[in-house]
A and B are shown apart, each in its own frame.
Chain A
Amino acid sequence: MATSASTETTTETTIDPEQLKRSWLRPHTFLSGLLSGLTWLIALLACVPLFSLLYMLVVKGGSRLSPAVFTELPPAAFEAGGGFGNAIVGTGVMVGIAALLSVPIGILIAVYLSEFGKQTRIARVARFCIKTLTGMPSILAGVFAYAAVVLLTGGYSAPAGGIALSLLMLPTVVLTAEEALRMVPNAMREAAYGMGCTPTQVVLRVVLPTATAGTLTGVMLAVARASGETAPLLFTALFSDYWITQQGGFALMEPTASLAVLIYNYSGMPFDNQVELAWAASLVLVILVMIANAAGRLLSLRQVGMQR
Chain B
Amino acid sequence: MSDSRSDSRSDSRSESRSDSRSESRSDSTSDDGGAAGAPVAAPVARPPSAMERLSDRGFTGATRILTWGVVALAGYIVWEIGGHALPAIREYGTGFLTGTEWDANRQQFGILAQIWGTVYSSLLALLMAGFVGLTIAIFLTQGFLPRTLETTFRYIVELLAAVPSVVYGLWGIHVVIPLLRPVAEWLHAGFSWIPFFSTTLSGPGMFPAALVLAIMILPTVAAVSQDALTAVPHKMKEAVYGIGATRWEAIVKVIVPAASTSIFGAMVLGLGRALGETMALAMLVGNSNQITLSLFSPANTLAAALALNFPEAGRIETQALMYSAVVLLAITLIVNVIGAAIVARATKRLEA
Contacts and interface: CB of A to CB of B under 8 A. Distances in A.
B74 interface: yes
A108 interface: yes
B187 interface: no
B303 interface: yes
B325 A278 contact: no
A125 interface: yes
A215 B278 CA distance: 29
Interface in A153-189: 167, 170, 174, 186-189
A228 interface: yes
A197 interface: yes
A248 B5 CA distance: 61
A132 B246 contact: no
> At the interface, is chain B mostly helix, strand, loop or mixed?
helix
A143 B175 CA distance: 30
Interface stretch (A30-38, A64-72, A79-87, A92-100): A30-38
B74 A234 contact: no
A251 interface: no
A108 B63 contact: yes
A117 B173 CA distance: 49
B310 A234 contact: yes
B127 to A, nearest CB: 14
Contacts of B104: none
Contacts of A31: 246, 248
A147 B48 CA distance: 47
Given A43-B136, A122-B67, A286 B163 contact: yes
B156 A50 contact: yes
Contact of B332 (A39, A137, A203): A137
A133 interface: yes
Most chain A beta-carbon neighbours within 10 Å: one of B47, B66, B132: B66
Nearest to B246: A32
Contacts of A198: 48, 52-53, 55-56
Given A53-B163, A285-B167, A116 B64 contact: yes
A53 B216 CA distance: 12
Interface stretch (B29-37, B189-197, B228-236, B288-296): B29-37
> At the interface, is chain A mostly helix, strand, loop or mixed?
helix
Interface string A109-153: 101110011000011011001111101111110111011100000
A47 B167 CA distance: 17
Q: What size tier do the contact residues of chain B reach?
A: 35 or more
Contact of A56 (B19, B67, B171): B171
Interface stretch (B6-14, B94-102, B109-117, B256-264): B6-14
B247 interface: yes
Q: What size tier do the contact residues of chain A reach?
A: 35 or more
Given A139-B306, A198-B52, A201-B56, A130 B139 contact: no
Contact of B248 (A32, A47, A108, A230): A32
Contact of A238 (B35, B63, B71, B311): B311
B239 interface: no
B311 to A, nearest CB: 5
B71 A235 contact: no
B213 to A, nearest CB: 12
Interface in B215-229: 215, 218
A50 B307 contact: no
Contacts of A38: 135
B310 A235 contact: yes
B249 interface: yes
B308 to A, nearest CB: 9
Given A43-B153, A108-B62, 9 more contacts: A32-B248, A46-B136, A125-B71, A137-B275, A147-B80, A190-B31, A196-B45, A231-B165, A279-B170
Give 3 nearest A-B pairs by CB, closest first. A137-B276, A228-B164, A135-B336
28 contacts: A28-B246, A31-B248, A36-B144, A39-B144, A43-B153, A50-B163, A108-B63, A112-B63, A117-B67, A130-B70, A131-B340, A132-B74, A136-B332, A137-B277, A139-B325, A148-B76, A167-B77, A186-B24, A191-B32, A196-B48, A199-B17, A200-B52, A200-B59, A228-B165, A230-B165, A231-B165, A267-B173, A268-B173
